Amino acid sequence: MDDAAVVAELERALRATDFAAFAALFADDAVFEYPFEHPSWPPVLHGRTAIADHLVESRRHLVALIQLTGFESVVHQTTEPGVYVLEHEASGITLATGAEFRFASGIGVVTVRDGKVVRYRDYTNPFGSATVTGTLPRLAEAITAKAAATR
């Protein structure tokens, strides 16, 4: 599979919220990073298995909290071979309230080699996702605990 096809499959898996399929596109020794650290997630994951376990588990609760009605993604190919930037915007309904939402869910910087993702830097929007899923108080508690631990 060529680089562009891999990126297209990443987008398809994200739209379908199929994180197992998303992770299956990674190389065995791939690296997944959250450069803008999320207090409840590891900053770096090494290897496809660890990446898959994390993505599937950390997003398992989403189907009970939101219904996605749209997931827009714009792909930018950079001047660096095999490096792409994916901009994501999610829309849907918060199930607990029935409120509709639309927000920029994040940006992914993806490096593809030999038909596999070797690095994914996920600049996710934790405030936006916590707001629409109703988990903002939990995110605030995690941030507060992290701040207290670093003093």
How far out from the chain centre does Cα 31 lie?
13
pTM over 0.75: yes
Strand 116-124 with 26-33, pairing = parallel
CATH number, domain at 90? Answer: 3.10.450.50
Residue 16 has pLDDT above 90, yes or no: no
pLDDT score for 151: 82
- Residue 52, token pair as written in the block: 């898959």
How far from 33 is each of 41, 55, 106, CA to CA, in Å?
10, 12, 13
pLDDT score for 115: 96
How does DSSP classify residue 36? Answer: S
pLDDT, average across residues 37-65: 92
How does DSSP classify residue 104? Answer: E
Residue 63 has pLDDT above 90, yes or no: no
The closest alpha carbon to 44, from 55, 33, 36, belongs to: 33
In terms of residue numbers, what domain contains 78?
3-149
CA 116/CA 95 separation, integer angstroms: 35
Total domains in the chain come to 1
Q: How high does pLDDT run on average in the chain?
A: 93
